[in-house]
Amino acid sequence: MRTPSTHLLRILHLASPALPIGAFHFSQGLEYAVEVGWVKNEPTALEWISGVARHAIGTLDLPVLLRLHRAACLGDDEGLRCWGRFVLAARETEELRAEDRHMGSALARILREFDARIPGANPPGYAEMFAVACAHWNIAENEALQAYGWAWAENQVLAAVKLVPLGQSAGQRMLHSLVPLLEEISAQAFDIDDDDIGACAVLQGLASARHETQYTRLFKS
């Protein structure tokens, strides 16, 4: 039996940076942005993360996650495959696609240990497996979107703390500042039509592509 408290704990479990899916290995272009001086302090780090959240996570990941969540709850494997392929195809660089597949496969392995039903996608994407986890644990749509957004934002802030570098207090200030934006883009995802889904974060795409050949790197490519 699931109680409200265990329901909250399942959300925290899924959004935890301790979840062993390798999210901490990737910077999504932020490392290159620091290398060339686009991001150099707390304000510019917050501006970068907020921009990607608004123009990529909020317009691509979250509306697709909403559709994946609904498909997973209905047992619609074809819908899962369709939207899973869509979000992978929308990734602008090979690095971003590799990250998506890596995290998706890792999350699928964890979910199998918890007896979740995993569709036959090969390899599964991260958003797809996140939706499967939310359906398995009865996490509601809006909570699923907010948890996904928070997990992404926390990893980006942790990357900025390492790379700029910034202090831990600066990281907490940034996360605090991002909460209203994460709530906003989660709510807006419900109003985005299928034809309007997509990302427009040009500098992130460029930074990710350049990061693939960056000479010194802390993060994987």
pLDDT tens digits along 19-29 = 999 998 999 99
SS3 of residue 29 by DSSP: coil
Does residue 101 surpass a pLDDT of 60? yes
Contact assessment for residue 99 and residue 28, using Cβ atoms and an 8 Å cutoff = yes
pLDDT of residue 8: 87
Name the amino acid, one letter, at 108. Answer: A
pLDDT of residue 1: 46
pLDDT of residue 204: 97
Does residue 2 surpass a pLDDT of 80? no
Kindly report whether the global pTM for this prediction surpasses the value 0.85.
yes
Residue extents of the structural domains in the chain: 28-34+47-211
Contact assessment for residue 39 and residue 30, using Cβ atoms and an 8 Å cutoff = yes
Assign domain 28-34+47-211 to its CATH superfamily: Urease accessory protein UreF (1.10.4190.10)
pLDDT of residue 216: 86
pLDDT of residue 139: 95
Taking the C-alpha atoms of residue 149 and residue 144, their distance in angstroms, rounded to an integer, is 9
Confidence grade of residue 190 (pLDDT, cut at 50, 70, 90): very high
Q: pLDDT tens digit string along 128-153?
A: 999 999 999 999 999 999 999 999 99
Contact assessment for residue 182 and residue 157, using Cβ atoms and an 8 Å cutoff = no
Does residue 41 surpass a pLDDT of 70? yes
